[in-house]
Structure 1
Amino acid sequence: MRDTSPARPSDLGRQIGVISAVVFMLIAAMIGTGLFGGTPVQDLQNGALDTDGSYLAPARQAFSIWSVIYAGLIAYTVWQALPGQRANPRQRAIGWLVAVTAVLNGLWLITAQFLTLPLTLVAIVLLLAALGLTLRRAVVSRERGDGIIDAILIDGVTGLHLGWVTIATAANAAALLTQTLPSSAAQFATPLGIAVLVAVVAIALTTAWASGWRVTPALATAWGVSWLAVGRLAGDPENTGIGVTALIVAAVIALVPLVVAGLRLLRPSVD
């Protein structure tokens, strides 16, 4: 049963904190896309973060998922700011964590714009960890009857954010290695790329299991890996081995959680 304790001053502070964090993230995104005179992300760090910056970079179409994630975070920000959400125990459980993920999201863009490539990897790893913790807290705090808005704006949006950042972290690490390793290391690109994709499968399926087989993290990761496959099979740098592996990986990441979630939904009717 939900705690019905009255709102506290700290609840208002949490709501304002979330709003401030998401506004910061959006301003950083505008700087990162060059709207405020900054350099677009694809041109930063000597092009290391562009779609041809490494063998694990998704094709440009993959990045359209940011529009969905940002729209979801904006919708969550408005919703959590409503008076009726102020004393909601679930908002108390995850609100500040969502704020932290928004700040780290913005800091990655600021880091890419003004600092160094190694620091972008630090920033995105911290973001990945914060999103994992946020989704886990969301799962633990959810109760029967929380409703569809809760499911979409907390579980769904956080899941999409986490799933996308999972593959983005792999791409960021690959970009750093591409920039720092000697050119002779290119001969190991295919086996290393395949090994990283296997690790992405393990992370994605572990995330699905730990989140109670929520499908949005897996779908977002599979989306990114699918466009990675397109980039390697039809773009530059071309690599058939990594491209074919990415197609298989994307299918596994998407289908396993969908099948398990479907079986869990059918189980009550079978019993």
Structure 2
Amino acid sequence: MADRVRQIVVSVSEVISLLGPLIGFGLIGSDVSNTSGGDLASNATLVAPGGPAFSIWSVIYLGLFVYTIWQWLPSRTVDARARATGWLVAASMLLNALWLVVTQEGLIWLSVGVIIGLLAVLVALVVRLTRVPARQGFAEALIVDGTFGLYLGWVSVATAANIAAALASSGVATTGTGSEWAVAALVLLLAGSLTLLQFRVGGRWAVAAAASWGLAWITVARISDEPASIIVATAAAVAAVLILAVTAVIRSRISATDSALGRVDR
């Protein structure tokens, strides 16, 4: 019964989360970039990614939909990974939907609290995936690890952008050398936090790819759009390369360890 309740809650949360793309395309309410007085637009702050960066949501929403179907498969009803992740997946969907509602109402600081909560849920979820590794091959790894790795990596960057937007809405300067160096420090702090997390979760390429995608589009936006900043663009580019490089090192070490253990087993 507990497994069935979990599956139903995940499915209902998925239906609610469909609010996301409907708002994203402007079919319900205002486009996210036009909410909260425009503070969430791609040219609102120094740490806002360029517009095309948000296309990653299409991949994440697709992954969440496929996960919802996956967890209903008969073999997954009592599956350890489904049990370990289901409730956190549902929480992440509901928090994302709540964030969209909050931003529609212009409650920018409340949206910061919501997205930090979402980030915490996703960190806990990916840590659980590390503790309960995939055992059913590539498809499971793609559906579960891939989806939530991308989700975590992107939301990490989005959290920094959301905080910057809230500060801008409160009158904190978004231009000037001082602001540029402060934002550069925030971007590098984000990269440092993600690299530490990567050591904890075994260097997940999906996390690194999504975070680097967001950081790369911050670089592009600061070079090609306003507010322009070579300082922030450079920091974001360095952060993206750092996350990818650290992930490559971690994966290389894991592969070397696995190979060594394989030789010992033989």
TM-score range, shorter chain: over 0.9
Counterpart of 2:70? Answer: 79
Please give the root-mean-square deviation of Cα atoms over the aligned residues, in Å.
1.6
User: Alignment length, in residue pairs?
Assistant: 261
Tell me how far 1:209 sits from its aligned partner. Answer: 1.0
Give me the whole-angstrom Cα distance separating, in 1, the residues matched to 2:22 and 2:188: 34
Counterpart of 2:113? Answer: 122
Tell me how far 1:182 sits from its aligned partner. Answer: 4.5
Tell me how far 1:183 sits from its aligned partner. Answer: 4.3
Cα distance 1:115–1:190, how it changes in 2: closer, same or farther (>3 A)?
Answer: closer
Counterpart of 1:35? Answer: 27
Is 2:139 the partner of 1:149? yes
**Counterpart contact for 2:173–2:179, Cα < 8 Å:** no
Deviations 1:59-81 (A, max 9, x none): 01111110111111111111111
Give me the whole-angstrom Cα distance separating, in 1, the residues matched to 2:246 and 2:173: 37
Give the alignment partner of residue 165 of structure 2, picking from 140, 163, 175: 175
Counterpart of 2:201? Answer: 211
Matches within 5 A, 1:15-164: 15-36=7-28, 38-142=29-133, 145-164=135-154
Tell me how far 1:237 sits from its aligned partner. Answer: 0.7
Give me the whole-angstrom Cα distance separating, in 2, the residues matched to 1:182 and 1:127: 25
Is 2:212 the partner of 1:227? no
Give me the whole-angstrom Cα distance separating, in 1, the residues matched to 2:159 and 2:138: 30
Give me the whole-angstrom Cα distance separating, in 2, the residues matched to 1:181 and 1:63: 26
3-state SS of 1:193 partner: helix
Look up the equivalent residue of 1:23 and give its one-letter code. Answer: V
**Counterpart contact for 1:32–1:109, Cα < 8 Å:** no
Look up the equivalent residue of 2:213 and give its one-letter code. Answer: W
**Counterpart contact for 1:69–1:160, Cα < 8 Å:** yes
Of residues 124-133 and 186-195 in structure 1, the stretch that sits farther from structure 2 once superposed is 186-195
**Counterpart contact for 1:190–1:241, Cα < 8 Å:** yes
**Counterpart contact for 1:58–1:225, Cα < 8 Å:** yes
Look up the equivalent residue of 1:153 and give its one-letter code. Answer: I
Tell me how far 1:234 sits from its aligned partner. Answer: 1.1
Give the TM-score of the pair, scaled to structure 1: 0.91
Give me the whole-angstrom Cα distance separating, in 2, the residues matched to 1:255 and 1:247: 12
Give me the whole-angstrom Cα distance separating, in 2, the residues matched to 1:116 and 1:170: 17
Tell me how far 1:44 sits from its aligned partner. Answer: 0.5
Of residues 113-122 and 169-178 in structure 1, the stretch that sits farther from structure 2 once superposed is 113-122
**Counterpart contact for 1:32–1:113, Cα < 8 Å:** no
Give the TM-score of the pair, scaled to structure 2: 0.93
Deviations 1:228-264 (A, max 9, x none): 0000011111011111111111111112102320332
Look up the equivalent residue of 2:155 and give its one-letter code. Answer: V
**Counterpart contact for 2:215–2:240, Cα < 8 Å:** yes
Look up the equivalent residue of 1:258 and give its one-letter code. Answer: A
3-state SS of 1:181 partner: coil
Moved over 3 A (4+): 182-187, 266-271
Cα distance 1:137–1:182, how it changes in 2: closer, same or farther (>3 A)?
Answer: closer
**Counterpart contact for 2:36–2:105, Cα < 8 Å:** no
Counterpart of 1:4? Answer: none
Counterpart of 1:192? Answer: 182
**Counterpart contact for 1:28–1:107, Cα < 8 Å:** no
Give me the whole-angstrom Cα distance separating, in 1, the residues matched to 2:16 and 2:190: 29
